[in-house]
Amino acid sequence: MTLIAPSLLSADFGKLSEEVKLAEEAGADIIHIDVMDGLFVPNITIGPLVVEAVKKSTNLPLDVHLMIVNPDKFIEQFIEAGADILTVHVEVSLHLHRTIWSIKEKGIKAGVSLNPATPIYSLEEIIKDLDLILIMSVNPGFGGQSFIPASIDKIKRTKRLINKNKSNTLIEVDGGVKISNAKEIAKAGADILVMGSEFFGQKDYKKFMKKLREKLNEN
Ligand code: DX5
Ligand code: ZN
């Protein structure tokens, strides 16, 4: 089954707790939280305090996507705040193996994200250690951008690399995912679809999730 992870970046921050609860009630599988530092990406979003608040509003796993230049410095804080999956970007990790294991040692899942221009072969040596690969299908920083079509082939190649290594690594796809392209992305090999503007732009999250699941289950 393809898992759906609404991205809080497009939620109404004035009533974040309610938004999270509504997403859970609608049948979302994971809550995706985008952490941006204004350095790695040209935007600033949220920190561990907000993650802690979100944790109190839901039983769903929290998938924390760190778009920050110095992830090592903050790993512990985000785990303490309640992250269940912590994802760092390969572009800022000098010692990725150490970083990944410092996350896994704390008993949560570790992911690595790739920008659209970053090749998947950068993960070849470490693939067996990864719980998750987060493929950015837009340049990170903002919600509501268009899906980069070349991402489909990248997802397929990532899937091949995972299979070749007999690894259980999951593929998550983030950026420009809509009900209209969800099936194609899942078919290419995505296990988790992040949806920001498409999900929180809906009036009725439950209705939307039902429609989305139907689409994903079509042959
Ligand atoms: C972008 C973030 C995404 C963002 C996706 O840098 O990593 O998680 O919320 O938003 P949409 O689904 O609107 O492209
Ligand atoms: Zn994200």
62 alpha carbon to ligand 1 midpoint, in Å? 15
CA of 147, nearest ligand number: 1
Average pLDDT over residues 86-113: 98
Nearest CA to ligand 1 atom 4: 143
- Catalytic site includes residue 174: yes
Among 37, 63, 131, 174, the one annotated catalytic: 174
Using a pLDDT cut of 70, give the percent of the chain over it: 100
Among 29, 34, 63, 131, the one annotated catalytic: 34
| pLDDT exceeds cutoff 90 at 219 | no
Q: Across the chain, what does the average pLDDT equal? A: 98
Distance of CA 102 to the CA centre of its chain: 19
Q: What is the pTM of this model?
A: 0.98
Average pLDDT over residues 79-86: 98
Nearest CA to ligand 1 atom 7: 140
Listed residue (6, 5, 4) closest to 201, CA to CA = 6
> Residue 57: which pLDDT band, with cuts at 50, 70 and 90?
very high
| pLDDT exceeds cutoff 80 at 13 | yes
**Closest ligand 1 atom, CA of 136?**
7
Q: What is the pLDDT of residues 107-149, one digit of tens each?
A: 999 999 999 999 999 999 999 999 999 999 999 999 999 999 9
Q: What is the pLDDT of residues 173-182, one digit of tens each?
A: 999 999 999 9
Burial of 203 by CB count in 10 Å (0-12 exposed, 13-18 middle, 19+ buried)?
exposed
33 alpha carbon to ligand 2 midpoint, in Å? 7
Residues within a 6 A CB radius of ligand 1: 7, 9-10, 32, 34, 65, 138, 140-141, 143-145, 174-177, 194-198
Residue 150 burial (CB count, 10 A): 10
Listed residue (23, 12, 61) closest to 208, CA to CA = 23
Q: What is the pLDDT of residues 149-191, one digit of tens each?
A: 999 999 999 999 999 999 999 999 999 999 999 999 999 999 9
164 alpha carbon to ligand 2 midpoint, in Å? 27
| pLDDT exceeds cutoff 80 at 27 | yes
180 alpha carbon to ligand 1 midpoint, in Å? 16
The Cα–Cα gap between 99 and 71 comes to: 8
